[in-house]
Structure formats: C-alpha cells, structure tokens
A and B are shown apart, each in its own frame.
Chain A
Amino acid sequence: MSELSVDPAGAAGGQPTAPATVGPVRPPVYAGRQGLGLAAFAVALAVIVVLADSPYSQGLVGQWATLAIAGLGFYLAFGVGGQFSFCQAALVGLGAYSSAWLTQDHGLPFALGLLGAVAITAVVAAGLFALVKRCDAFYFAIATLAFGFLAVVVFREWSSFAGPGGERRSLPGISLGGDELSGRSSAAAVVVVLLLALGLTLLVERSPLNREAAAVRHLPLAASTFGIGVMRIRATMFVAGAAYSGAAGSLLAHRNRVLSPEAFDIELAIDIFLVLLFGGLGSAWGPVLGAAFVVWAPEQLRFIGRDRDLVFGGLLIAIMIFVPDGLVGLAGRVQGLVADRRRGRPAEPAVAGEA
C-alpha cells in the first residue's frame, strides 16, 4: 500500500516535494489475501481430516469445527454487530433440538434438518431482538442471559418438541444423499460446513456491510446521521449470528446423536466466549483459532481435573489484561512488528529543503 508523504512545511514556502506515486487507496481489509488464506486453510483442513484416524481425534475435529461455527456466529453478533449477548449457547441448543425434531419426529433428511434449524433459530432470534432492541448494551446482555435460561427450561419441559425431559436419543447421523456418514466422513462434513461459514463471514468482512457495522459499533449516533440504519444492521448481525449458531447446533445433534438440556447451559455460553476471547474479536479467523484452543486444552489438561475452572478463570483475567485482542490480535501485532522491520522506518513527514 503506497503512502502519501506529508509535508507540513510545504505550505510555508519551501520547495514542494514531489509526491510519491499514489495508487488507488484501498482499506486495510482488502489488503489481506482472504481468498488465498481460505484456500490454504481448506488444504490444511483436508490434511487434518486425513490425519485423524481414530474416533477420538475425529470426534475432536468435529467438535472443533462445530464450536468454531458457533464462535463465528458470536463474532458476527458481537465482534461485527457490537451486541454482547449471552444467548448463543441457547441458540445452539435451539438449532440442535429443531434439527432433532425435524429429522427424528418428522422424518426429514439431515440437510433439511440443518436448514430448518437455521431458519427456526433465525426467526426466534429475530423475535427476541425485536423484543429488546431498544435496550442499551448491558440490559441487552442480561436480556439475552435471561433468554438463555428460559431456553434451557423450555427444552426440559416442552416434551413434544424436545423429547421427554429434553432427552433425545438415537438421532440419525449426518447423512448425504441418504447415506449416513460416520467417523472421518462425518467430521469432514462438519469441516466443509465450517469452510462455507468462514467463507461467508470473510465475504461479510470485505463488504460495505462491515464498514457500516463498524460505524454502528463505535459511533451509532453519528452513523445514523449518515443514513446508516443502526437498528437494521444490528438486527441483521444478531440474526445472522443466530443462524450460524443454529447450524452449529444441528451439526452437534447429529454428530453426538443424543441431546440433553444441560449441555446448553451457561457452561457452553462461557465456552463460546472463550472461543472468541482466545482467538480475538477483530477477525473471522479468531473463532477458528479460539475454538481449537477451547476444544484441545481441556483434553490435554485432563490432569488439572478439579481446577479447570480455576485455570480458565485465571486465564480469562490474564487475557483481558494483557491480550484482549486474543491470538489473532497477537498474531496481528507480531505481523505488524515484522512488517515494520522489513519496510524500514515508516515514512516520516519530510522537512522543508530535504528530498
């Protein structure tokens, strides 16, 4: 990216310095080669799936991809849309139960179950948003927290939708064209959905929608005077995030093949936060990295047993203090340092008389 050199002394009558060549000015987000990055990531994923040869590692890959999709949803709602919400876990649950209900009770194939889950979750989220849209940040957060609790109780009590006591068993697995996938191919299917979700999110990041959302996040009043529909953007991001969560829920239901309401309580909500925190709030890659950490760490650290909460709590505090941008932010900072070194010192304002 070329830079214009600034010449504060120019106006004062020194020799005007010749401006450097100026190409079209492109915002930073276009500078990243998203397409290449996505392709490289797809290759890496393929390698991972091929290497996962035990049910245990296949299970972990599937869990990681599912959690990453849910994390992307939270990223859209919070990182892009600016609405801190506690209800992502409940929306994942809603997606899971919807998909289970559609496939198990109504005999629909998995693909329709997935789409149905996405649709139902989006509609419910839209309804919730409509209810509390005029609330400010903290009230909105608590309202979504309340929704989260409500959802778990509803799952437990509404037997015709969620099964007796919210327990569902023997759910059909992920299937493609009538054949049920298992093991590696099931994990591969989830990974494909992750790629689609990530691609979609990257597209959003490159779009004008993202710029408008940034304005809405930081300066809503100013944004609205520019004609940006603040409520519209927030609603879109919230509902989009919910749709992702619904998809993640459907995948979860058909991978685990059992459902229990307690699986969608505040523990999962905290896990989804951690995904975004560890990975970083500023980019779609954040949830992908963060989910890897959240899925991998407890399994590796089984020996810490009882103290898992202690360690995670301590990590939360430490991260908030030192690395609030998460892993991606850290990577970004390192990348920035490296880039600075390579370019030499950034261009300084030219002083009159010196070329």
Chain B
Amino acid sequence: MSRFVLLTISGLADGAIYALIALGFVLIYKATGVINFAQGDLVTLGAYVALWAYQDLRLTLATSALVAVLALACTGAVLERVAAAPLRGRSVHVVVIATLGAALVIRSLVIRWKGTSPQRLPGFFGFRTVEVLGARIPMQNLLILGAAALALSLVALLLQGTSFGRQVRALATDRTTAQLMGISVDRLSMAAFALAAALAAVGAVLVAPTQQLTPTFGFGPMLFAFAAAIIGGFGRIGGVALAAVLLGVLQQWATGYIDPSYREIYPFVLMLGILAVRPKGLLPEQVGQRV
C-alpha cells in the first residue's frame, strides 16, 4: 500500500510540473500561434537563475525564486522579439526551427555560465519527509502540488477575468478578426511569452530540489508536457492540466509496476495510442492548419 501511495504522489507531483510547463506553451500558442520549443530550456534557465541568486547573491530561497520568475519573464519577452516577432506570418516550420535555435542558444549560455557539473538547488523543506498512509513522502512533493494548483488557478482566473485574458482568447479564436478589432498583437505576444517563461520558472524552482540540476534538466519534462498537451487536445487549460496530471501518475505506476527501464517512453506510447484513435487528442481544439 505504501508503495502505491508513494508512486501516486510522486506521479501527481510530476504531473503538476508537466502541467505548469504545458500551460506555458499552450498560452503562447493561443496568443501567437507559435509552438515554443525553447520552453524546456527556459525551465532550465529558471532553475539556474534561482541557484545563482541563492548561492552567489546569498538571497533566501523565496527571494531567489522571485528573482528567477522576474528574470525569466524578461527573457521570455526578449525571446519573443528575437525568435518569434521577425518571423510572424511565416510557415509553422520556420518558427519552430527558430525556437529550436533559441533553445540551443539558451542551453549553451547556461553551460558557459555554470558549466555542466550537476548542481543542486535546495528546497524549502530540505530533506524532510512526512508520513502519508505508511509511505515516506518528501515534503517538497506536497509543496509542488500546492504551488502548482495555485499557479494554475491564478492563470485560469487571468484568462477568464482580465482584459489580457480576453484578448488572448480572442486571438486564439480568430486571429484576423481580433487584429481588426484593434488588439495589439505585438504587446500581447510579448506578454504571453513573458508569462509562459514566468510559469517555466515557477515549475523549475519547484522541481529542481527533487533532482540533479544539469543543463538538460528542463528538456525531458518539456517533452512529457508536449505529450500531455497533445493528449489533452491542446485547447482548454483545464483539459491540458488534467491530462498532464494523469500522465504523470500513469507514468509512475507503469515505472513502478511494469518495468522501470521504459520510464521515459510510457508517456509517448500512451500519446501514440491515443492519437491513433483520436487524432485531435481527447478534448480537441483546432491546432494550426492551412487549408
């Protein structure tokens, strides 16, 4: 029983992180139509900025997290200016490749800055665990669940209740009309990228204490987040978040009960299986297509 609890809570925590990352690029997609392949490397950058603030600037963990979020928000805006804005209106593959290029650049800069030796960002609760139904759960996992839920709800509120949110939804629904209605695509794109990067930083700061911090740290979760977003249909925030959490749990169960060697591929097998039957995902909305 305790094994089941451990696996399930680990899975929920993993899924929460995937949801935060997925939310980031779904947001960018809705606002700009761009698929941001640099999202994983933004996560990595966020963790390293937090580490730098904590180790070199000697700030507290909470302040370091805040510094990371703000720094990433700026980075997101810069990324938009360099890799997305000049290519607006070009075909999908061009922008994808540009964001891939940006990912490589970010990764290289991180390597130059901090080297590739694994580092560790401490968590709020250190190594403390709490006993839940017989299983020792690291308290960091519970923090991940709580903080991610909070972040997701805030973003949902943002999209539903604010002017920014309304504009994003308008752009996502019908780009041309929205532009004709006077929505500033430039400003909205920058804001979307900045917000997505900030979310990446939040995810990074939450998950980094549970793992080794290396320059490819964010890439793996990003791929699983893609799988989750696709399974969820890439449309509704709630759908994507739910898919992400489910994916995390299923992945942990499969790793624990079937075969740990294949941990990395369970999400993809699931995704391929679902795509074979439901090519648009489970709760679909239109993804960019020229007809």
Contact = CB atoms under 8 A, between A and B. Distances in A.
A207 to B, nearest CB: 24
B104 A139 contact: no
Contacts of A137: 92, 287-289
B132 interface: no
B98 A316 contact: yes
Q: Interface range on chain A: under 10, 10 to 19, 20 to 34, or 35 or more?
A: 35 or more
Contact of B272 (A84, A147, A312, A321): A147
A112 B268 CA distance: 33
B82 A317 contact: yes
A247 B97 CA distance: 26
B287 A157 contact: no
A307 B108 contact: yes
Given A138-B288, A153-B262, A310 B275 contact: no
A229 interface: no
Interface string B207-238: 00000000000000001001100100010000
A337 B67 CA distance: 52
Interface stretch (B83-91, B149-157, B171-179, B195-203): B83-91
Given A138-B287, A139-B279, A314-B101, A309 B227 contact: no
B93 interface: yes
Contacts of B105: 309-310, 313-314, 317
Contacts, number: 129
A149 interface: yes
B269 A309 contact: no
Contact of A317 (B93, B98, B288, B290): B98
Contacts of B97: 273, 277, 316, 320
A157 B107 CA distance: 29
Interface string A133-146: 01111110111011
Question: DSSP class of A's interface residues: helix, strand, loop or mixed?
Answer: helix
Nearest to A82: B93
A137 B234 CA distance: 13
Looking at A138, A145, A321, the one whose CB has the most chain B CB atoms below 10 A away is: A138
Contacts of A334: none
B131 interface: no
A51 interface: no
A14 to B, nearest CB: 41
Contacts of B269: 150
B186 interface: no
B98 A321 contact: yes
Contact of A157 (B87, B261, B271): B261
Contact of B87 (A142, A150, A221, A321): A321
B227 A310 contact: no
Nearest to A274: B97
B101 A153 contact: no
A139 B278 CA distance: 11
B98 A320 contact: yes
A44 to B, nearest CB: 30
Contacts of B280: 135-136, 139
Contacts of B287: 136-139
Contact of B223 (A139, A149, A307): A149
A307 B108 CA distance: 6
A306 B97 CA distance: 21
B34 to A, nearest CB: 11
B291 interface: yes
Contacts of B93: 78, 84
A277 B279 CA distance: 28
Interface in A150-198: 150, 153, 157
Nearest to A310: B108
Contacts of A321: 86-87, 98
A46 interface: no
B265 A149 contact: yes
Given A131-B276, A312-B104, A313-B104, A142 B227 contact: yes
10 contacts: A84-B93, A131-B272, A132-B272, A141-B96, A157-B262, A273-B100, A313-B102, A313-B108, A316-B100, A317-B101
